Amino acid sequence: MSTKLSIVELPLVSKTGSISVKPFFDPEATNLGLEKYGMSLFDGVFHEEQLACIEMNGIRRYVTGLNEFAPDVKLIVDKDQREAKIKEIRTVISQLERDLAANVVDPEDPDFWNKIKMCNPNNDELWSKITMRCGNAPVFLEPKLSPYDLIKLYAIEAGGFSLIGKSYDDARSRSQSPKFYLDKYIDTVSTKTEVTKLRNKAISELQKLFDKNMNKLVLVAKVVDANSVQYKKNTPNDIVYDNMDKFITGQGIEHNLKRAAESFIQTVALDMETLSLKALIKDSSFYKLIMPKSDGFIYHMATNTMMGRNSSDCIEFLKNALNDNVLIDLKKETDKHFNQ
């Protein structure tokens, strides 16, 4: 009896996970309406870019990440790190030279660069042909199988393509987001779960305060919420909880999930005195008990006392026992509204 075998070809994965170039999607940035559909490009659209080149004194230098004479290598301060980087570059160049030109050169050879024929840093014929063409579908790189993919990988990590971020984190942190990013699976997952971990930690802190310290939760809400005066003595606890849950999940004044969670966690970590004074300053400002004047300083209006230039100055001012009269007056006036 014969047995039929089905051969399934699995995608190759490097030791650090699959490597690909993917479209970068920023839901907070307007992009011709595509952000509404979770897209970065229109269907059928591709971007193609040649490897970046810098010309000085008639000599072209390509941004390959494989040139030990490049400024970014020379500027490595630590001698051991610089030597390790040079060794890595020579090892890769030796491998590329062997695969592309059948030229075997020992990375330790004193005349290493003189013996390199094809992968010389100034070889226009090779580097000018290195391009990246990307669209909505991921472009997978197999640096262990393809020497050209290995070149592209090092070039992307060196910033050789303006359209491609070096990583998801790099793309996210740029003032002007790139169209694509290099996705090393493990690095990208780690970056994306960073926000999830922060959000979960913030929600855990919210639950702790709701269960054990409702008074502090109200103060936290007053500090992080733009509408601090909505929280009064008779505000139902569930409303405070719901508003803070929305704030943590980016549905409040701060839409960035990471910044929202970090802001909540940092506020919860404040001591009660600082937290109370921050809430007091916000409420006092709303009720015009304190106001900035033309000289740029904030004043207590009832006594015309200068408190400082910003909220931090005002908090330090109120912590000073010599200014208890101002503190007492502000608490008295804000409590009238809080106890309504």
Q: Which is it for strands 298-300 and 180-184: parallel, antiparallel or unpaired? A: unpaired
Q: Comparing C-alpha atoms, which of 127, 260, 116 is closest to residue 195? A: 260
**Rounded CA separation 11/252 (Å):** 42
pLDDT, tens digit (0-9, with 9 covering 90-100), for 149-205: 999 999 999 999 999 998 888 888 887 888 898 988 666 566 667 788 889 999 999
The amino acid present at 148, given as its one-letter code, is Y
How far apart are the C-alpha atoms of 96 and 146, rounded to whole Å?
10
Q: Of how many residues is the chain composed? A: 340
Q: Is residue 243 within 8 Å of 223, Cβ to Cβ?
A: no
| Angstrom distances, CA of residue 312 to CA of 29, 160, 182, 318 | 32, 44, 41, 10
Helix residue ranges per DSSP H, the chain: 71-74, 79-101, 112-115, 124-127, 147-157, 168-173, 185-212, 214-224, 237-248, 257-268, 272-286, 311-319, 324-338
One pLDDT digit (tens) per residue for the chain, 340 residues = 444 444 444 343 344 447 889 888 776 666 777 766 666 778 888 999 999 988 877 778 889 999 998 888 989 888 889 999 999 999 999 999 999 999 999 999 989 999 998 998 888 889 989 999 998 888 899 998 899 999 999 999 999 999 999 888 888 888 788 889 898 866 656 666 778 888 999 999 999 999 999 999 999 999 999 888 899 989 999 999 999 999 998 888 887 788 889 999 999 999 999 999 999 999 999 999 999 999 889 999 999 999 998 988 999 999 998 999 999 999 999 998 888 7
Q: From CA 285, how far away is CA 291, in angstroms rounded?
A: 6
**Which phi and psi (to 5°) does residue 164 adopt?**
-120, 120
83-94 burial: b if 16+ Cβ within 10 Å, else e: eebbeebbebbb
Whether the predicted model's global pTM rises above the 0.85 cut: no
Q: 3-state SS of the chain: helix, strand, coil percent to 5?
A: 50, 10, 40
The phi and psi torsions of 273 (rounded to 5 degrees) equal -65, -50
Sheet holding 164-165, edge to edge: 139-140, 19-23, 180-184, 164-165
Roughly how many angstroms between the first and final C-alpha of the chain, as a whole number?
A: 88
CA-CA distances (angstroms) from residue 27 to 138, 166, 262?
A: 19, 20, 19
| Nearest CA-CA partner of 307 in 332, 281, 272 | 281
Question: b or e along 205-215 (b: 16 or more beta carbons within 10 Å of the residue's beta carbon)?
Answer: bbeebbeeeee
